[in-house]
Amino acid sequence: MKILIIEDELGLQRSIVQYLMAEGNLCSMASTYAEALERLAVYDYDCILLDLTLPDGEGLQLLNYLKRMNKTEGVIIISARNSIEQKIEGLSLGADDYLIKPFHLSELNARILAVVRRKSAHGERHIEFNEIRIDLDAKEVIVNGKVVYMTKKEFDLLLYFVANKGKVISKSAAVEHIWGDDSDMADSFDFIYTHIKNIRKKLIDAGSKDYFHSVYGVGYKFTDI
Amino acid sequence: MRLFTRYNQILLIISLFGLLIIGILFYRMLVFYLDRQIDHDLVEEIMEVKEYSDKNSFYKPHEFEDLIVQYKKIKQARLLSIYADTVFYNPVKHRTESARYLKTEFEIVGQPYQVLVIASKFERQEQIRNICLIILLPVMLLFGLVLLVNRILLKKIWNPFEQLLKNITAFNISQENPYKSVDMPIMEFRQLNQVLVELSGKVKSDYDEIKLFTENASHEMMTPLAVINSKLDNMLQSNVLGKDDGETLVELYKATSRLTKLNQSLLLLVKIDNNLLQDEEKIHLKSLIEEKTVYFQELISERNLILDSALADVTIAASRQLLEILINNLFSNVIRHNYDGGMIEIRLNAEKIVFSNTGHNKALDPEKIFDRFYKDNSSEGTGLGLAILKQICNRQHYLLEYSYHHDLHTFTIKFNK
């Protein structure tokens, strides 16, 4: 996938690039409004990550530009401002998602995949990983043709891990993914273990291999190696 | 004590003392002058006696004159005249009366005599009493009138001041009630009002500035936090980390997550304060609580907590966002401060929501628990959860109370304050 990262904080920009390149994506970077405009005019991307506060302009203007040019790239706004108004404004100007800083790279990656999937013409509504098949519309997990019953949180968590397959996901990222940020419980990481244990058990019971690996006690990796 | 009362009290005491002293002085003067007059009469009587003595006879006063003259033979006449008060038997009126006498000695018809002239003071005393009454009555009347006028006038003059007091009391910085200026004719009050207008304006602008500062500071911190978070995520992908590194990463993730949470909570407080979340709608509280019960299910069962809830069908009009945060925080609180295998009780009826939980702590200080950053040492939270709760209740005009009995920490929210 070709991804454009418009972000003026270079530290963050480099981290995102490093993470996404490892996933096999092609990344270009822009740290100013002018630079971003230049790239958008010349190239097409699958997904654009857009920081709203740029040193020389408002990120929202770039959304207007994309609209005028009839470009259909998926756009994810990444902003430090957690305001409903800005979120609504961004989404109504054509952004596909709104991610609030600070975020985990695994979360960003999952969102990118979701946006690109939604945008793609074929609109694949299921994801496969070896013998596991995840139906996004029915919100069902099917292993070897059998439906495995999962709670909403378990389903979301599995999807999250599959989207970031081969990557280590920290407990912190997993907690934030299923709990959002409106609970005051995000600092209690350990119960995520229970969730993973349940998902694991259900998958193995249905005949799947065990793909979850605990890493350094920090997090988990979903991989078939 | 009210200002009127104090003022009237002092006025009354001083006036009474003043009147008393003036009254006594006035009376003494009056008595003195009237005595002088009687003395003068007495001297005239003596002159008469001397005139009669020149004609070789003894003077006898008329009966209606309330006056007697007594002669007493003595060996030798000295040159003296003594005035003094006495009582005498009035032979005309047949009663004892207070009187004044003049005692003198001279020769009558060649013989030395002591002559005593006694005059009744009765008439004069009557006169004094009448004069006093004539003066006292109008003075008392005037005095009463002054008090009354004072009262009415003071009340009228201080009226705007009372209004001013009311307006200061109503002034509330966090609920956007500005100080309402009062229009006043009195210069001093006008100055006070002016000072209050300026002061409240200054307080308000300082407060806004602090809010803005908190907001900006928290926002500014989000980007560096995003950098830290993303660097940690990348570091985690490395294949060369040891066990110690893993533990370090866990700690770093925890600290970053807490810092993020703290920042978000501060921003949320400012947002609630700025009234940014006020999308009022009808909310079915029972389903909201049930939804959140599912949301927190894993946390509850992870700690083997027993949940006992009795929910009535209650619908209220409120901001959905605020109510969700409210219920979230209540849940987080009863789970976090519980012990494994403890109890959670949730009650909902048309008047109130009640969340109770067992916990290690004894009763908490109800004055302090809603303060920002108040928490016990064992708490892993931000110390802002309850402050947010309080802020939301203030915003929605709910009454939030904490109590502790039967080993249960209880948070009660009453909808109608």
ipTM: 0.88
In the chain, the amino acid numbered A222 is F
Contact B70, B58 (CB under 8 A): no
Whether B278 has its CB under 8 Å from any CB of chain A: the answer is no
Q: B250 contacts in A (CB within 8 Å)? A: 171, 189, 216-218
pLDDT digits (tens, 9 = 90+) for B366-408: 888 888 888 766 666 778 888 889 988 988 889 999 999 888 9
Distance between CA atoms of residues A109 and A161, nearest Å: 11
DSSP lists the bridge partners of residue B106 as B113
Q: Supply B362's token pair.
A: 């004894």
Q: A182 contacts in B (CB within 8 Å)? A: 324-325, 328
Distance between CA atoms of residues B203 and B103, nearest Å: 87
Residue B115: which residues within 8 A CB-CB, separation 6 or more? Answer: B46, B49, B69, B70, B71, B72, B103, B104, B105, B106, B108
In the chain, the amino acid numbered B238 is S
Q: Where are the alpha helices (DSSP H) in B181-319?
A: 187-236, 243-273, 285-295, 297-302
Which of A107, A93, A112, A105 minimizes the C-alpha distance to A52? A93
pLDDT digits (tens, 9 = 90+) for B294-308: 888 888 888 889 999
Q: Supply B109's token pair.
A: 């018809």
Q: B231 contacts in A (CB within 8 Å)? A: 11, 15
Structural domains in chain A, CATH included, are 2-119 (3.40.50.2300), 126-222 (1.10.10.10)
Size of interface A-B (CB pairs under 8 A): 145
Contact map slice: A 107-166 vs B, CB within 8 A: 153
DSSP lists the bridge partners of residue A186 as none
Mutation target for A interface from B222, B227, B233, B392: give the one with most A CBs within 10 A. Answer: B233
Distance between CA atoms of residues B93 and B95, nearest Å: 6
pLDDT digits (tens, 9 = 90+) for A38-68: 999 999 999 999 998 899 988 889 999 998 9
pLDDT digits (tens, 9 = 90+) for A5-20: 999 999 999 999 999 9
DSSP lists the bridge partners of residue B72 as B114
Torsion (CA) A101, A106, A133, A222 in degrees, nearest 10: -150
Contact B202, A76 (CB under 8 A): no
Residue A63: which residues within 8 A CB-CB, separation 6 or more? Answer: A50, A75, A90, A93, A94, A95
* Paired sense of beta strands B399-405 and B408-414, if any: antiparallel
Distance between CA atoms of residues B165 and B168, nearest Å: 5
Chain centroid, CA A202 distance in Å: 25
Q: Which residue is closest to B254 within chain A, CA to CA?
A: A187
Q: Report pLDDT for B64.
A: 61
Higher-pLDDT residue of A207, B182 = A207
- Residue located via tokens 């007493």: B72
Q: Report pLDDT for A34.
A: 93
Q: Supply B65's token pair.
A: 């004159």
Q: Supply A193's token pair.
A: 């273990």
Q: Residue A28 half-sphere exposure, CB side, CA atoms within 13 Å? A: 17
Provide the 3-class DSSP secondary structure of residue B88.
strand
In this prediction, residues B295-324 reach a mean pLDDT of: 88
Mutation target for B interface from A187, A190, A192, A195: give the one with most B CBs within 10 A. Answer: A187
